[in-house]
Amino acid sequence: MNPTLTKLSRISPLLKSVVVACCMSISLPALALTDVLDTPSRPSLKATSTLLTDVARAGSRLVAVGQRGHVVYSDDQGKTWVQAKVPVSVLLTSVYFVDGRLGWATGHGGLILHTTDGGETWIKQFDGNQANQMVIAQAQAHLDEIQARFDAASEEAKEELQYELEDAQFALEDAEIDAETGPSKPLLDIWFKDARHGLAVGAYGYFFETRDGGQTWENAAPRLDNPERFHLNAIAEERGGGLFIVGEAGQIFMSSDEGQTWEMLESPYSGSLFAVSGTGNVNEVLVGGLRGHIFRSEDLGQTWERVSFDSDQTVNSLTADGQGQVLALANAGIWALSRDFGKTFRVYTREDRDGLLSGLYLQGDRLVLVGEKGIRVLRGLSKL
């Protein structure tokens, strides 16, 4: 049995649907997922009222992504939305813009999309088929290097290299099996420093980097101490420039050199983390995950303090406005506001109890939220 499925009893209904979809895709023929990676998303009147997973700003425009390749954008602060042209129909998981024109989105099947017109039209830059071949090539090169060292070593040294050689052989075999399965692993989050340098993270340790705006991508997974290939769920930058990745089993990685090297931090929690954000202050970061756990650090993750959160629902996202306000979104309609850089939160529950996945602060004392049932705009925050 897939070990991820054994954990579903500890995950809320909304997360179950996303994780099950991910795991089920692994057992499907490669052709099934390849088809949706090559099938354009269809226009739908329900594009704004069904599952949307992330929302971002493209200048003054709002862009949201979700199921069946749906991308919608709004030029009037969420009052009306237009569906974009997208060349795939897989579940999209995150979206990120560096300015009003240039943006990227990730999705199932190891997918990365790119737009140059603020999200109106998209092209496919990368997918799981390319990822599989890249990982195989890297694993083969590593095996060849270890084999050459082994062949040239003394008998005594060969004994020490034997385990390393076997590990390299197993890694290549795993990569080849993955390729036979097809483009089955989802990318879950993406971050760009500027128009050229970006990083994408995903399930089963997927981690890729581009230095040319996504024209080419490199497998960066060997930079992380993640031999079990735990899921990497989110990536974000704090105000001082420190990069953080959070994932399965409480993993937290930090980079102070724009992602070239990474330190695994001592985690305050052994359960999965799905959210990470700066607070708006230098060196401060928030992480959140299962059962309402939120932790805050003021020293780039060297030490952590538990943040009181009046809910046991899984925290899906944390978003700071840079002025002291932080928005936390969770399953079962839970949303929470902090006005002190994430030190305390006031928790609210929507009557519809829909799971909430991402949100942004808007002009005019409002929030835009996306999740299980599409888009919601909340007003009157200052009165809360």
Q: DSSP string spanning 291-343?
A: GG-EEEESSTTSS-EEPP-S--SPEEEEEE-SSS-EEEEESTTEEEEESSTTS
For 7-40, b/e burial (b = at least 16 CB within 10 A) is beeebbebbbebbeebbebbeeebeebbebbeee
**Beta-bridge partners for 244:** 236, 254
The answer to whether position 225 is within a domain reads no
The answer to whether position 83 is within a domain reads no
For residue 155, the model assigns a pLDDT of: 85
**Span 261-290, mean pLDDT?**
98
The answer to whether position 174 is within a domain reads yes
Strands (E), 193-280: 198-202, 207-210, 218-219, 232-237, 243-247, 252-255, 263-264, 273-278
Tens digits of per-residue pLDDT, 211-243? 999 999 999 999 999 999 999 999 999 999 999
Structural Rg of the chain based on CA atoms: 21
Query: What is the rounded distance in angstroms from the CA atom of residue 331 to the CA atom of residue 355?
Result: 4
Query: What is the rounded distance in angstroms from the CA atom of residue 20 to the CA atom of residue 62?
Result: 29
pLDDT above 50 (res 93): yes
Q: Which two tokens stand for residue 4?
A: 């991820």
Q: Read off the DSSP letter of residue 41.
A: P
The answer to whether position 15 is within a domain reads no
Query: What is the rounded distance in angstroms from the CA atom of residue 311 to the CA atom of residue 132?
Result: 40
For residue 371, the model assigns a pLDDT of: 97
Tens digits of per-residue pLDDT, 15-30? 434 443 443 333 344 4
Q: Which two tokens stand for residue 260?
A: 């070239």
Are the CB atoms for 224 and 246 separated by under 8 Å? no
pLDDT above 60 (res 95): yes
Number of structural domains (the chain) is: 1
Under the banding of pLDDT at 50, 70 and 90, the label for residue 35 is confident
Under the banding of pLDDT at 50, 70 and 90, the label for residue 290 is very high
Are the CB atoms for 93 and 107 separated by under 8 Å? yes
**Beta-bridge partners for 96:** 104
Query: What is the rounded distance in angstroms from the CA atom of residue 252 to the CA atom of residue 245?
Result: 6
Going from the C-alpha of 86 to that of each of 107, 191, 310, 370, the distances in angstroms are: 12, 20, 39, 19
For residue 32, the model assigns a pLDDT of: 52
Under the banding of pLDDT at 50, 70 and 90, the label for residue 33 is low
The answer to whether position 146 is within a domain reads yes
For residue 1, the model assigns a pLDDT of: 32
Tens digits of per-residue pLDDT, 148-184? 999 998 888 888 889 889 988 988 998 898 888 888 8
For residue 215, the model assigns a pLDDT of: 95
pTM tops 0.75, yes or no? yes
Tens digits of per-residue pLDDT, 180-215? 888 889 999 999 999 999 999 999 999 999 999 999
Which range has the worst mean pLDDT, 20-29, 62-71, 159-168, 303-312? 20-29
Are the CB atoms for 219 and 185 separated by under 8 Å? no
CB atoms closer than 10 angstroms to residue 180:
8
For residue 118, the model assigns a pLDDT of: 98
Q: Read off the DSSP letter of residue 43.
A: P
The answer to whether position 350 is within a domain reads no
Q: Read off the DSSP letter of residue 278.
A: E
Q: Which two tokens stand for residue 290?
A: 């299962």
As a dihedral over the C-alpha atoms of residue 356, residue 281, residue 225, residue 229, rounded to 10 degrees, the angle is: 10
**Beta-bridge partners for 201:** 189, 207
Helix axes 128-152 and 155-181, enclosed angle (nearest 10): 170
The residue range of the domain holding 156 is 131-181
Query: What is the rounded distance in angstroms from the CA atom of residue 54 to the CA atom of residue 56?
Result: 7
The answer to whether position 230 is within a domain reads no
Under the banding of pLDDT at 50, 70 and 90, the label for residue 138 is confident
Which range has the worst mean pLDDT, 60-69, 148-157, 315-324, 369-378? 148-157
Are the CB atoms for 95 and 52 separated by under 8 Å? no
pLDDT above 70 (res 34): no
The answer to whether position 138 is within a domain reads yes
**Span 70-81, mean pLDDT?**
97
For residue 365, the model assigns a pLDDT of: 85
